[in-house]
Structure 1
C-alpha cells in the first residue's frame, strides 16, 4: 500500500511472503491469486505491496533471465501488486519441518550469500515501480554467533565491500538504487543496534544499512528512542522496517504451548539472561519476565497472562514515522509463524490466512494513520 507522510514522502506498506512456502516461480505466482489478490480486495486498496521472499534457486533463475523478470513483473501488475522490498534472510527451505539454526546458512563468510543477495538486487531493480525512490533487501546479521572468529569477521567485511560494489553496478546498469539492510537478531553476530553500528563502521552507507525488525528490537530489550537516536548519530540508514511483535509474559509457563519444532525462538529477560530457544528457557526455568522471538499476529492480543510487544512497536513507529520527516519509507509486516501457532489460533484454510494477513495490514495502516500518515 502507498501511504503519504505529512512531509510529502511516500511510505510503502507491504506484507512479507516468507509466510508462504513456494520455492519456484510458478509457486510464487500462484500465491498472488491464493493470498495477495484476496488481501488487496479485503483492504480495498488499489495497490498492495508485497515483500517478496524468493528462495535462492528462483532468485538465481530470475537474475539470469530478463524474460522471466518481465513475466514476474507483469503477473504482479495485472493483479494490482507491487514490490519495493525483498526478504533475503532465509536462503531456501524456510518451511521445512525443522529450520532452527539452518536459517543462518549460508552466512556472510560465503560467496553463496553474496551471490544470492546480488541476485535479489538484480531482480528487484526490474520489479520496482517506475516511480519508486529505491528498493530494499533485508539480510541476516552476518550469521549465528557460534562459531565466529576474527578470520570469519574479516571475510564478512570483505564480502560486504563486494556487496556495495555489486549494488553500485546494479544501479549503473539499471538506473535503480537498491540498498541492503542487515537485520539484528538475538543470538546472532549482530544482536543489537549498537552492535550493528560497530560492525558496519566504514561500510558504504549509500548501499548498506540496517533492517530494523521490531520484534527483535523488543527481544533485545532495547528502547526504540535510544536505538534510533544511536543509528541517527552514527549515520547508519534504516533501509527497511519489519513490523513484527514478539511474545511477552511474566508467567513463563504460560508460553509452553508455543514451543514448537520448526523455528528458533530466542528468549530473553531484561537482566540479560538468555536462552537460544523457548524449550531451553523452559527447561532452565529462567526468571521472568520473558520476551520470546516468536512473531505473533499484530492485531490479536493473546489471552492473559500472555502479552505481545505491540507497545514497543508503537513506540518505534512514533519515532520512525511520527516526526517531521520519516526515518524509513519501507514498512513490511513480517509474521511468518501462522502455521506453527498453537492449534486453536492457527488458520485452517488459505481464506483464513489471507483474512488474518489483511487484518494485520489494516492494523499497521491504522497505527500509521494515527501518527498523521495519510492512507
Structure 2
C-alpha cells in the first residue's frame, strides 16, 4: 500500500508454492483477508516471490493475463519481487542452497531476466519503478581460494551486467525503470554493507563502465548512470543488524557514493545478551537450531573482537562462558515481538531504520520479510494471515509514530 514514505508490502516467500498454480492459489486465499485488515479502502501492494518453476509458468500469456485480471479485481498491485531463492524454499532443507544456482551460472541470469519481463508486464501503468532483490553473488564458502573467489566475483558481476542490458532495453521500450537489488547476507560473497560498497566501487563500476560503453556505445557518464539506476542495494535490516553495522553511517556512505537503495527489507534477527544467565540462554537459543535454513551467527566477544559462525550449531558448540558478550543470529523472527523468553530481537534496528526513512527517505520500496513462521517454537506461532496483518500494522504504526 502507498504510505507517505514509500510503497509498503510483505514478501510472499512466507507462502508455500514453487509452481505458479500452487502459489497463486494461496495468494487468492490469503490476500483478501490480509487486505481487509490492513488496507480495506486503498490498493494493497504485494511483494511477489516466484520460484524458477513459477516464473516459467507465469511466462505463459494466459497465466499472466489471469494474474493481471486478479490484481485489478482485488485492488492490489506488484511493485517489487524477490528473486533470491531460485528453487525449493519450504518443507525442504535449504541451507546454503538458497544461493544455488549462484550468479556464476547462466540459469540465474535467465531466471532473473524472466522475472523482470514479468514485472514489466504487471507493474501498474501509473508506476514506472520496480525492483527485484537477488543473492549477494554467491555463497562465500564455495570459493575457498582467493583466486577462485576473485574469478567468481568477476564472472558474477559480468552476468549481472548482462541483466542490465535487458533493463536498459525495457526502459527504452516502455519507460519503466527496473533495478536489480543486491541483498548482502552473512556468508555471501557480499556478506554485509561494507562488502557491498567495496564491490560496487571497486569491481562493479570499473567493470561495468567498460562493459556498457563498449556494448551500448555510450559515454562513461551514461554508463555510470545506467549502473546506478539498474543495480541497487536491497537493505535487509536483519542482515545489517547481524553484521553489527549501524544504519545511519551505512546509509550516509551509500548516499555520499551515489549508491541507491532499491528496497528496504524490514526484518528482525535474534539477539542474545550473555551478560546474565549465559548457560540458560544457550539452552534457549538451542531451540531455534532447526534444520531448514542457515542461521549464521556473528558473536561479539568480551575482548571487543567479532567471531563469525556459518550456522547456529557451530556457534553453540564453540560457546565459552565469560568469552562471548553478545550474539546476533540470522533468523527472521516476527517484527512485533521484542522478547522471546530469555532472548531478545534486533527490533530496535528496525525502529532506527524507519526513523531515518521518515526523516530522509532513501528508498521507495518497503517490504516485510519474515519467512520462518513454520519453524518457530510453537509458543510464538499464531495463524499466518493474522501474523502477516499484524506485522504490516506494526510497520504502519512505526511509520506514523
TM-score by length of 1: 0.92
Residue 59 (structure 1) aligns with:
55
C-alpha displacement of 1:68: 2.5
The 8 Å contact of residues 47 and 81 in structure 2, kept in 1 or not, is answered as: yes
Residue 287 (structure 2) aligns with:
257
Question: For 1:65-95, what per-residue CA distance to the aligned partner results, in whole angstroms no more than 9, with x for missing partners?
Answer: 3332222111122122211000000001011
Residue 346 (structure 1) aligns with:
381
Residue 60 of structure 1 aligns to a residue in which SS? helix
Residue 27 (structure 1) aligns with:
22
Q: In structure 2, how many angstroms separate the alpha carbons of the residues matched to 1:171 and 1:321?
A: 29
Unpaired runs of 5+ in structure 2?
Answer: 144-148, 209-226, 275-280
Residue 278 (structure 1) aligns with:
312
Q: In structure 2, how many angstroms separate the alpha carbons of the residues matched to 1:43 and 1:158?
A: 41
Matches within 5 A, 1:1-375: 1-5=1-5, 11-45=6-40, 46-63=42-59, 65-148=60-143, 149-201=149-201, 202=205, 203=208, 204-251=227-274, 252-253=281-282, 254-270=284-300, 271-285=305-319, 287-323=324-360, 326-347=361-382, 352-370=383-401
Question: For 1:306-336, what per-residue CA distance to the aligned partner results, in whole angstroms no more than 9, with x for missing partners?
Answer: 111011111112222322xx11010000000
Q: CA RMSD in A?
A: 1.4
Q: In structure 1, how many angstroms separate the alpha carbons of the residues matched to 2:325 and 2:331?
A: 16
Residue 8 (structure 1) aligns with:
none
C-alpha displacement of 1:303: 3.2
Unpaired runs of 5+ in structure 1?
Answer: 6-10, 371-375
C-alpha displacement of 1:62: 2.5
Residue 219 (structure 2) aligns with:
none
TM-score by length of 2: 0.86
C-alpha displacement of 1:174: 3.1
C-alpha displacement of 1:194: 1.7
Q: In structure 1, how many angstroms separate the alpha carbons of the residues matched to 2:341 and 2:120?
A: 45
Runs of 4+ with >3 A deviation = none
C-alpha displacement of 1:151: 1.7
C-alpha displacement of 1:34: 2.3
Structure having the larger proportion of residues in helix: 2
Q: In structure 2, how many angstroms separate the alpha carbons of the residues matched to 1:44 and 1:229?
A: 33
